[in-house]
Amino acid sequence: MSESDNFAGKYRMIAELGRGGMAEVNLAIASGPMGVNKLVVIKQLRQNLADDPEFLTMFLDEARLASRLHHPNVVDTYEVVAEQGHYFIAMEYLDGQPLQRVVREFGKTGGLPIELMLRIISDALGGLHYAQELTDYDGAPLGVVHRDISPHNIFVTYEGQTKVVDFGIAKAMNSSSETRSGVIKGKISYMSPEQSRSEPLDRRSDLFAMGIILWEAVAGQRLWKGLADVTVLQRLMVNQPVPSPLDVNPEANPILSAICMKALAPLPADRFDTAADMQNEIENALIEMKKRATVRDVGRALAEKFAAERAEIRNIIDAQIKVQPSAENSRIARLTSLSQSQSLSQSQTSQNTPVSQQTGVERPSSTGQSSLRASLSLSTPAETTDLPARPAAKMGGRLVALVAGAALIGGISWAAVNRTSGPAVAAVPVAPANSGKIVLNLRASPPEARLFLDDTPLPSNPYAGSRARDASPHVLRIEAPGRVPKNRTVSFDGDVSLDIELEKAVLDAPAVDSARPEATTPDARPDPKRRGGSGARPAETTRPGATTAKPAETPAPAATPAKGKTPSVTLDNENPWGK
């Protein structure tokens, strides 16, 4: 690593895409001979974790797997580098949007046509099948399971190419790291029943997640809309059947509904055997529906929708490329929101930062019941995908020129996002299983939201600290001007990690208790004149927090720039890859 923090080997950092408890993600330039420059995404293990065997093993497991993945529908990894105690991964830079933003932005103006959504889902299944079929050099199956499939980890470029990203918590049979007992990895709103019980997983767990994405497109709303995470987990753990899209939207396409229900079968044995099988069914449905959708059609729609933001981000990148590559004048830009009025909810695994969490939900006694930073746009934590409240073609998303694969392992998944308007949460270690302490990681959006625990104000948002372990219920209250306050009941019998977004207040609208289903608004009702579609905005998801070596007894202070280092500027505080 260069003496300047703006360099990593041959790569010069030009924009910060996100930070998580385990890694930092930057957009960088690899300069070659004769003035040739190549944009790449650099994911670097935090220096304070490089000497920790557990974190180093996790990072290297991810690097080994990522370096083996080479497919048109999977983000590409160029190289893995270990240099003077620094470890980083150089990945493909993608110019486009994560699916959750595509869905949300199009939802504001009528929705993404269902045939385009099906093309995206089908192509994502193609990339997923490739990863799941991967073998070792001797031909032995690696048994790869992504474990965090969601709209945040499906990326669509402005050329219409779909990429599966963020294999940060993916698992191969020969991986070195082990998941601790009782720890759930993944986003609860896209989790399979067996994953909710921390049982061994195979490829069919990922197909359940893909089934949820398809269900939400066909039904026109979020599958778990209005339900608290603890309620979702309880339903998953006992294999409670999922309703058919036709039960929610009578105008939903019956062929697509049947595909959804097979993918969402409570028992893995009743689902599709492979992602290719599910992909074939979707392709046949497109033919049956007499719908035609190509990669070019998808790209044309995205390029038109996000033209202004894309041009502005390009200007920022061009300006950074022109900077002379010296430690003295090199300055890392932070891709910040181009339009505050378009700010979305999150995510980041950051946005959605949900990667690993210990829940206080009691498991069934037996399993017999079945048993830039990468995105130049605007970087922020990953959030729960919000589907527009209208059927089929109505899916919206927010523009952010994202770089695929810039997700971080530390917050919840690569899609972890870094809210630029607030201080970063320092990585907080998970307390030992028999410890008298639990780790508390809390984050609320908007950044000015205030947190109250048992009516006592917490000193910061985000907040990281520890509490005495106990099984008593505690009430977390979140408030912000112009937003509907929310209450969450939590138990301190295990580590708690939450990423909550407050919805904008409507005149005379009562406060919403996140533990109860939210009242359905007119926009959230399916449009009987259309089939398929997007859904209503999702309830916030409990995001498992990043862990480190020791629990913090006091709130983590806001990060301050290292001496001599220029503070970064942000392009987008809604970038799911920066969490």
Beta-carbon-side half-sphere exposure of residue 296 (alpha carbons within 13 Å)? 1
Which residue in the list 5, 76, 95, 148 is annotated as catalytic?
A: 148
Chain Cα centroid distance, residue 174: 25
Give the Cα separation of 540 and 526 in Å (integer). 21
Q: Where are the alpha helices (DSSP H) in 269-427?
A: 275-288, 295-305, 307-321
Beta strands in 46-185 (DSSP E): 77-83, 86-92, 96-98, 154-157, 162-164, 183-185
Give the Cα separation of 401 and 64 in Å (integer). 27
**What backbone phi and psi angles, to 5 degrees, belong to 467?**
-140, 160
Give the Cα separation of 496 and 236 in Å (integer). 19
Closest by CA position to 214, among listed 281, 131, 291, 117: 117
Beta-carbon-side half-sphere exposure of residue 564 (alpha carbons within 13 Å)? 6
Q: What is residue 340's three-state secondary structure?
A: helix
Burial category of 472 from C-beta neighbours within 10 Å (exposed 0-12, middle 13-18, buried 19 and up): exposed
Give the Cα separation of 224 and 234 in Å (integer). 12
Give the Cα separation of 533 and 115 in Å (integer). 10
527 noted as active-site residue: no
Give the Cα separation of 311 and 570 in Å (integer). 16
Give the amino acid at 27: L
Give the Cα separation of 219 and 524 in Å (integer). 11
Give the Cα separation of 168 and 24 in Å (integer). 13
Buried/exposed 328-362: b ≥16 CB within 10 Å, e otherwise = eebebbbbbbbeeebbbbbbbbbbbbbbbbbbbbe
Chain Cα centroid distance, residue 523: 25
- Helix (H) or strand (E) holding 62, with range, is helix 53-68
Catalytic residues: 148
